[in-house]
Amino acid sequence: MRIFVTGASGWIGSALVPELIDTGHQVVGLARSDASAAALTAAGAEAVRGTVDDLDVLRDTAAASDAVIHLAFKHDLAFTGDYQGAAEADRRAVDAFGDALTGTGRPFVLASGLAGLKPGQVATEQDQPTVDGSPTSIRSATAAAALALTSRGVRSSVVRLAPTCHGDGDNGFMATLVAIARAKGVSGYIGDGTNRWPALHRLDAARLFRLAVEQAPAGTVLHGAAEEGVAIRDVAEVMGRHLDIPVTSVAPEAATGHFTWLAGFLALDVPASSAQTRELLGWEPAHPGLIEDLDKGHYFQTPAIPS
């Protein structure tokens, strides 16, 4: 297939592009800079210049492709406090893809998130998030809109990704937490730190997206979680050991002052199962888990700057 990938030079996209090409697909990647375009070309993909705000580019490229995988999300906005703005831009992009793919029967795979499904309980692919107008639930509403495209003749599916898709070179939540620990001189967790995050290695995520675009039935929800739930205190302890700093609890009322924008996410207890996804697609994660990956040391080699 000729597959249009947004976010193709990003964290997961840069792993997905070779995954697709190595399995016989052609890739057209959205590139918002010359550097991104050059990286895509070097990887064997075709680059199309534009951003997720260029809705005509999205529509035209999708219409000329056999499938679309939408990974791009304005993490630069989300990670600096404007999660709502990032989520609203994502919804506009999904609507544009829906316009282009209506009636074609072609696959459309959307990256979404696992956070907030069933706090304190193990979420499954059957669980639906609460849409209440909060910034996080805006993204959930976008996922619902993507699944609703099945009624318009699109083979749409949604991959709900773990809050951390880790690996060497990560600049997301784990890298930010390392940077905060280094800056504060302590590796912190909120409360007793028993709250859990599902986790996924970026290379396992890439394979999941490839299987989804090839196989997922219309209207399918998939869970990108290799590990059901990793306690945040365990994460903090690994970071403290590698940074040689104390590991300490941060009171919930002091969390925002300590962790800034990350506090709300770090407090979540959102374990999730991927059993149904594995059975449906034959997907079996094969790369290191979060604690093992942190223990490899690459997160601690180059100091990061807190966002």
Can you tell me the distance from the alpha carbon of 187 to that of 254, in angstroms, rounded to the nearest whole number?
14
Per-residue model confidence (pLDDT) at position 117 = 80
Residue 189: pLDDT over 50: yes
Interatomic CA distance for residues 232 and 262, integer angstroms: 13
pLDDT range class, residue 269, cuts 50, 70, 90? very high
Q: What is the pLDDT of residue 67?
A: 98
Q: How confident is the model at residue 132 (pLDDT cuts 50, 70, 90)?
A: confident
Instruction: Determine contact, residues 30/48, Cβ cutoff 8 Å.
Output: yes
- Please give the pLDDT value at position 133: 66
Q: pLDDT band at residue 306, thresholds of 50, 70 and 90? A: very low
Report the relative pairing of strands 155-161 and 107-113 from DSSP bridges. parallel
Give pLDDT, residue 139. 82
Concatenate the DSSP letters of all residues of 151-202 into one string. GGT-EEEEEEE-SEEE-TT--SHHHHHHHHHHHHTSEEEETTS--EEEEEEH
The answer to whether 63 and 99 are in contact (CB under 8 A) is no
Instruction: Answer for the pair 40, 5: CB distance below 8 angstroms, yes or no.
Output: no
Write down the pLDDT at residue 302.
64
Q: What is the mean pLDDT of the chain?
A: 94
What is the pTM assigned to this prediction? Answer: 0.93
DSSP 221-285: EEEE-SEEEEEHHHHHHHHHHHHT--EEEE-GGGHHHHHGGGHHHHT----B--HHHHHHH----
For 31-52, what is the mean pLDDT?
Answer: 96
Give per-residue pLDDT as tens, 152-179.
999 999 999 999 999 999 988 999 999 9
pLDDT tens, 212-260?
999 999 999 999 999 999 999 999 999 999 999 999 999 999 999 999 9
- Given pLDDT bands bounded at 50, 70 and 90, which one contains residue 135? low
**33-49 burial: b if 16+ Cβ within 10 Å, else e:** eeebbebbeebebbbbe
**Identity of the residue numbered 5:** V
Alpha helices in 34-78 (DSSP H): 34-42, 55-63, 75-78
**For residue 115, pLDDT beyond 90:** no
The mean pLDDT of 15-29, rounded to a whole number, is 98
pLDDT surpasses 90 at 15: yes
Q: What confidence category does residue 130 fall into, taking pLDDT thresholds of 50, 70 and 90? A: confident
Cα(83)–Cα(85) distance, integer angstroms: 5
CB of 3 closer than 8 Å to CB of 20: yes
What one-character-per-residue DSSP string does 102-138 give? TTS--EEEEEEE-TTSSTTS-B-TT------SSHHHH
Q: Reply yes or no on whether the pLDDT at 131 is more than 80.
A: no
